[in-house]
Structure 1
Amino acid sequence: MVFSKRLDELRESHCDKGVLTIYLNTLRSGQDDWKLQLKNGLKKLEQYVKARKDNEELKNYRNVKKKVEKQLLESQHDMLKAVVVYASLDANIWEFHHLQLSVENSFCWEKHPEIEQLERIQQQYPASGVLLLQQTDLLALDTRLGEVNEEIRYTLNVESDNWRKYEGVATAERIASSANHKDQYQERIEVNQQRWLRRLAPLIDRKSRECQWVGVYIVGSQDLAKELGKYLQTKIIKVVPKNLSSLPSHKVVGEVIG
């Protein structure tokens, strides 16, 4: 999702039957604490709706609440640090975002989604790239609000000297690919590393322009990051000198950004 565009759409959206907005931290010391927070927050909100003495509105709220609770429980294994929900009986407003970032717990029932907190988070964590850099392999993660929006892998074909682009490649596959290259071509890699990184940089810059990144985080060897940085036009926000290539992408983002 291009969040800036979607936020504009949400800003203009409404539902006369009501919209439920939830911001909820889901990473707690107690495993099920978020469920208690959810229950209490929705209960207080229902009391607020009851006070309006509109039976039709109360019915709408309870219907939406029931569906939201069901989906949250079904997706509890996908929980990260927080969840943001915009939900209504109108299918045009039905969104669940699992974030790597903490939020201020909030529950709201109005005729439009309350997006102010999400806008603040977007300003704090704008679109950026996370680059897991290895000698012949690069995984680029397009992130929005601390979420992984897209994965792109660039793998070097040592024989042809060309970088190939792949999308949606599993973590295990990208590690195996890189390891095989290292075993077979280590000497050639060391000799030609500078030239290959110089060829990689324009591919990253092009992706950065497409995704409108404010900059990139480079994860990996400081020497490789420094060499790549010589040719990048994209701003380098930070270099993280760790090997995180064995982690799932959402955990990489949590480690680097969250």
Structure 2
Amino acid sequence: MDIQKEIEKLEKIYLEKSNKILTMYLNTDRSDPDQQGGEWKIHLKNGLRNFESYLNEVDNEEEKRNYSIVRKKIERYMKENEQSLARSVIIFATADQSVWFAEKFQMPVQTEFEWKEVANTSQLRELHQTFPKTGVILTQKEQVKVLDAELGSLKQSHHFQLDLDTEDWREYLGPHESRATVGSGGKSTQQEKFRERFEANRYRWYKSLASTLDRLAKHAGWQNIYVVGDKEETNDLLNHMNKAITDVIHKNMLNHKEKQVLHEVVL
């Protein structure tokens, strides 16, 4: 999903008469001291009930029906996704289904509800400006993992592994269980030979991968790029990538869980 395009699409919509847009920003962050007991359920219930109370005083049966349809859709979505919530939920919805945007995010929001002719995209736009399309490049010897993220959430991962026989980088899309490196097992002489060969060719090998990473960054539209790994390996990429690097972190995180990496590096 291209969040920027979704925001632009939402901001062009203006509804009239009884068909309005419900905007919902709901804080579901379990790490928030005010959310330890699942208080988001109370905030959701109260937020939706407030509009119902208001509409009961309005002589517009069609608008009441429309709101009832939207409310049931939101309640059903929250119930179905209760076990997989992150730190926030953002929803834009209409009764006629011309608008339905429902996403869980890793960043907290200020709980807010609106029932108007237009969508209130202010918080979503602010989140997108703070956490734009981002690439995280993780290096570890002959393995490189690339995380493609937006708004703190993983969109796709790429795994590159150097074939030591052909000296070509092979790409694996999606989950890929990397094999053990030559230097991580076997006899000490094999480990030493691997280290010597890797150090002798590291600069050239990483140079050959840099152009691939530049193309990936351009295609994904990354506005921020983080390179994470040992100093020598990250320096090799910095010297050969044309794309500007936002930050370099000298830490081995290639085998960490992807959510953990994004939390430590991006958020």
Fold agreement, TM-score > 0.5: yes
Query: What is the alpha-carbon root mean square deviation over aligned residues?
Result: 2.2
Larger-gyration structure (1/2): 2
Determine if the alignment matches structure 1 residue 82 to structure 2 residue 84.
no
* Aligned match of 2:68: 62
Counterpart selection for 1:225 from 234, 238, 241: 234
Give the paired residue count: 253
Partner letter of residue 155 of structure 2? N
Determine if the alignment matches structure 1 residue 253 to structure 2 residue 257.
no
8 Å CA contact retained: 1:100, 1:253: no
> What is the TM-score when the length of structure 1 is the normalising length?
0.88
Q: Deviations over 1:27-61 (max 9, x none)?
A: 13314122122122222233333343322212211
Deviation at 1:223, TM superposition (A): 2.9
Q: Deviations over 1:204-258 (max 9, x none)?
A: 1111111221231122223322221111111221223333334432332122212
Partner letter of residue 3 of structure 1? I
Deviates more, 1:142-151 or 1:243-252: 243-252
8 Å CA contact retained: 1:216, 1:237: yes
Summarize the alignment of residues 22-101 of structure 1 with structure 2, pairs less than 5 Å apart: 22-27=24-29, 28-29=32-33, 30-101=36-107
8 Å CA contact retained: 1:98, 1:147: no
Summarize the alignment of residues 231-242 of structure 1 with structure 2, pairs less than 5 Å apart: 231-242=240-251
Please give the secondary structure, in 2, of the residue aligned with 1:132.
strand
Query: How far apart, CA to CA, are the structure 2 residues paired with 1:8 and 1:141?
Result: 25
Query: How far apart, CA to CA, are the structure 2 residues paired with 1:246 and 1:22?
Result: 36
Listed as ranges, the gaps of 5+ residues in structure 1 are none
Please give the secondary structure, in 2, of the residue aligned with 1:230.
helix
8 Å CA contact retained: 2:144, 2:254: no
Summarize the alignment of residues 163-242 of structure 1 with structure 2, pairs less than 5 Å apart: 163-170=169-176, 173=177, 176-177=178-179, 179-183=180-184, 185-242=194-251
> What is the TM-score when the length of structure 2 is the normalising length?
0.85
Listed as ranges, the gaps of 5+ residues in structure 2 are 186-193
Query: How far apart, CA to CA, are the structure 1 residues paired with 2:92 and 2:39?
Result: 21
Please give the secondary structure, in 2, of the residue aligned with 1:163.
strand
Counterpart selection for 2:149 from 125, 129, 143: 143
8 Å CA contact retained: 2:132, 2:224: no
Please give the secondary structure, in 1, of the residue aligned with 2:246.
strand
* Residues 247 and 45 of structure 1: CA distance in aligned 2, closer, same or farther (over 3 Å): farther
Deviation at 1:137, TM superposition (A): 1.8
Identity %: 30
Partner letter of residue 110 of structure 1? K
Deviates more, 1:199-208 or 1:143-152: 143-152
Query: How far apart, CA to CA, are the structure 1 residues paired with 2:127 and 2:25?
Result: 12
* Residues 73 and 221 of structure 1: CA distance in aligned 2, closer, same or farther (over 3 Å): farther
Please give the secondary structure, in 1, of the residue aligned with 2:120.
coil
Query: How far apart, CA to CA, are the structure 2 residues paired with 1:62 and 1:33?
Result: 23
* Aligned match of 2:2: 2
Query: How far apart, CA to CA, are the structure 2 residues paired with 1:152 and 1:209?
Result: 15
Query: How far apart, CA to CA, are the structure 2 residues paired with 1:142 and 1:238?
Result: 16
Partner letter of residue 183 of structure 1? S
